[in-house]
Structure 1
Amino acid sequence: MNWHILGAGAIGCLWALRMRQADLNVTLINRTLQAPYDQLIKIKTQFQTHSINVKVESATETTPIQHLLITTKSYDTLSAVASVAHRLSHSCQIVLLQNGYGHQQQLIKTYPHLPIWLASTTAGAWRHSPYTIECVSEGTTLIGSMQPHAEEFPDGWSRLRPQIVLSDNIDHVLWKKLAINCAINPLTAYWGCKNGQLLDKPELKIQMQQVCQEIEALSALKGMRPFSPPLFELTCDIALKTAENHSSMLQDIRANKKTEIDDMTGYICKEAKHLNLDVPMNAELYAKIQGMSLSKLESRPTNKSEA
């Protein structure tokens, strides 16, 4: 059994390791690659450093893909899958393991005939270099499907460790993950701090609480299931458990990369506007991160290429 992975960032590389440890074959897909090659990936965990060799191949290859894990940035999802659409078998199993909200539903509408699973993880990992990863928290991973024809687990996923948890309401899981991300990521990105530092400064904790209150109001208007415990309590718990983590948005800002702010806080602001709800703290953070991202991207050297 072979799993192809689109998105060789920190989470993609971490899952490559977990799949190999579960005796699953892994192939990374590079959309700009011309010729295949073998890549050494090093992943540092709390107790040891793991090294694995994985095959890297181009999206333009013609060999069929039976199993596809997508760990790209949320805004790249549709274009990433389109780049390998000619290779997807008629029963290709797809798993989305990403931040953001809304793109999952778009992919299901685009490929309604394929079994698609949605996953959410609290695992924390960041890159020292493109293929050198540090895993700072194992986290918990939940998976589920919004389609009636998808089986309980994708092939091989019941063997992954730490054990994957099956969710019967993955949409609520993703909404909760979005809400927590919106309360942590923009603040850490703007202030340049680790997750846990949001709990150390009263003014940042107040802002985090305001974000949570606005999203809870939006959830109520959308008829979503209430957060239990309350969102602010959930967020503080995650910030504490991932205290040493650098959020993905902070990593993107520091690396002069496009952030996922549009699919996180931007989505909240758009939904709130549609329902005539004011979300001033979310709107303020959205504008700030947009401004930071634009400023960073405009200052980048024009000869710098990305994979």
Structure 2
Amino acid sequence: MHWTILGAGAIGCLWAAHLQRAGAAVSLVLRSPDRLAQYRARGGIVLIDERGQSFCPVAADLAGSPEPIEQLLICTKAYDSLAALESVWHRLNADSRILVLQNGLGSQQQIVARAGAARVLVGSTTDGAYLRAPFEVVYAGRGVTAIGPFSETGARLAEPGTDFGLQLQQDPQIETTLWRKLAINCAINPLTAIHGCRNGALATTPAYTLALKTLCSEFEAVARARGIALFERPLQEEALRVARQTADNYSSMLQDIRHQRPTEIEQITGFLCNEARLAGVDVPQHQAMLRQVRLLQHGAQPPSNQY
């Protein structure tokens, strides 16, 4: 089974490197001829983990290639997922399988609607990874990737190999898992983006902790209305636990703002606000976060706190 990966960010490179080390056939799809030339000049992916530094000469091509796709992994930014799928649609067939591994919610449903539930799996990962440079990925924290279908007719994942170095877990309740990750992202990411702070500041700065508490209360009201079971403990406690556990990290949303890139605010807070509207639940704090991050994306600058 050949794996084709759309999205050469941290998670895309992490999977590509581990798939190749496990002996699987794998290739990246890059977004432009210039990006492909940059990659070919490097010759492959550099993976930095507890084993040291490894060089993985993964193949790469452009979306327009005629090569058929057997197993497609989509790990672009969530707002790019449908366009990314369309770019390789001509390479898919009835037997092709698609795994969507992204932040937020909404993009997964778009992929299912376009490709059909029988071909699609969705995932949620707690693996920590970041790019030290283009195509140089640091595996910063081992986690678990939960994978499952959105319906009983969903696809099954092709085995990546017995030596695959990432931990996978079949999850028949993947939508609930995605909602739980969404809850944490809604609590942490917009606040850190707006205040320009590390995750840990949300647990040590009283004003930030109070704002997080309100966000969590609003989210729990939406989850109750939707019949979604979150965590055994209150969401605020779980969000603060994650903030402390990742205290030195800058959220991806803050990094996107600082690098003047689009954020995934629409697939995170935007999705939650829309679900709240449909459920008839007021979420004024989340709506305020959505407005403020949208402003930051249009040129306003966040504080440069170094908490």
TM-score by length of 1: 0.90
Which ranges of structure 2 fall in alignment gaps of 5 or more residues? Answer: 302-307
Counterpart residue number, 1:61? 65
Q: Is the 8 A contact 1:116 1:147 kept in 2?
A: no
Tell me the alpha carbon deviations over residues 60-85 of structure 1, each in whole angstroms, 9 at most, x when there is no partner. 01010001100001111111000000
Tell me by how many angstroms 1:267 deviates: 1.1
Aligned residue for 1:263, secondary structure, equals helix
Tell me, in whole angstroms, the C-alpha distance in 2 between the residues paired with 1:270 and 1:88: 32
**1:300 equivalent in structure 2:** none
Taking every aligned residue pair, what percent have the same amino acid on both sides? 38
Aligned counterpart, 1:88: 92
1:13 paired residue number = 13
Aligned partners of 1:176 and 1:227 also within 8 Å: yes
| Aligned twin of 2:4 | 4
1:270 aligns with 2:274: yes
- 1:244 partner amino acid: D
Where do residues 151-166 of structure 1 align in structure 2 (5 Å cutoff)?
152-156=156-160, 160-166=164-170
Kindly report the root-mean-square deviation, in angstroms, between the aligned alpha carbons of the 2 structures: 2.1
Residue 152 of structure 1 and its aligned partner are, at CA, apart by: 4.6
CA distance in 1, matches of 2:217, 2:236: 8
Per-residue CA shift, 1:138-189, capped at 9, x if unaligned?
A: 2221111123334553332675323211111000001111111111111111
| Whole-angstrom CA distance in 2 between matches of 1:223 and 1:16 | 36
Deviations 1:118-150 (A, max 9, x none): 110112222232222223212221111123334
1:195-206 to structure 2, matched below 5 A, reads: 195-206=199-210
Partner of 1:217: 221
**Residues 194-235 of structure 1 deviation map (CA, whole Å, 9 limit, x = unaligned):** 222322212212211211110000111112224322212221
Q: Which runs of 5+ in 1 are unaligned?
A: 298-307
Q: Secondary structure at the match of 2:299?
A: helix
CA distance in 2, matches of 1:187, 1:212: 12
Q: Secondary structure of the equivalent of 2:172?
A: coil
TM-score w.r.t. structure 2 length? 0.90
The 5 Å alignment of 1:1-307 reads 1-33=1-33, 38=40, 39-46=43-50, 48-112=52-116, 114-150=118-154, 152-156=156-160, 160-295=164-299
Q: Tell me what 1:304 maps to.
A: none
Distance 1:84 1:293 in 2: 29
Runs of 4+ in 1 over 6 A off after TM superposition: 34-37
| SS class of match (1:42) | strand
Aligned pairs, how many?
297
Task: Out of 125-134 and 252-261, give the one that drifted further.
Answer: 125-134
